Amino acid sequence: MKVKIDGTEWHRIGQLMLNVDHFYQAEILYNELLSNASSDSDRSYIYHMLGWLKDDQGQFKDAASFYEQSLA
Task: Name the fold adopted by 9-71.
Answer: 1.25.40
Q: Residue 26's pLDDT is what?
A: 93
Question: Is there a contact between 17 and 25 (Cβ–Cβ < 8 Å)?
Answer: yes
Q: Residue 49's pLDDT is what?
A: 93
pLDDT, tens digit, 9 for 90 and up, residues 23-65: 999 999 999 888 888 889 999 999 999 999 999 999 999 999 9
CA 20 to mean position of chain CA atoms: 14
Q: Residue 1's pLDDT is what?
A: 44
Closest listed residue to residue 72, CA positions, set 34, 45, 32, 35: 45
What are the residue ranges spanned by the domains of the chain?
9-71
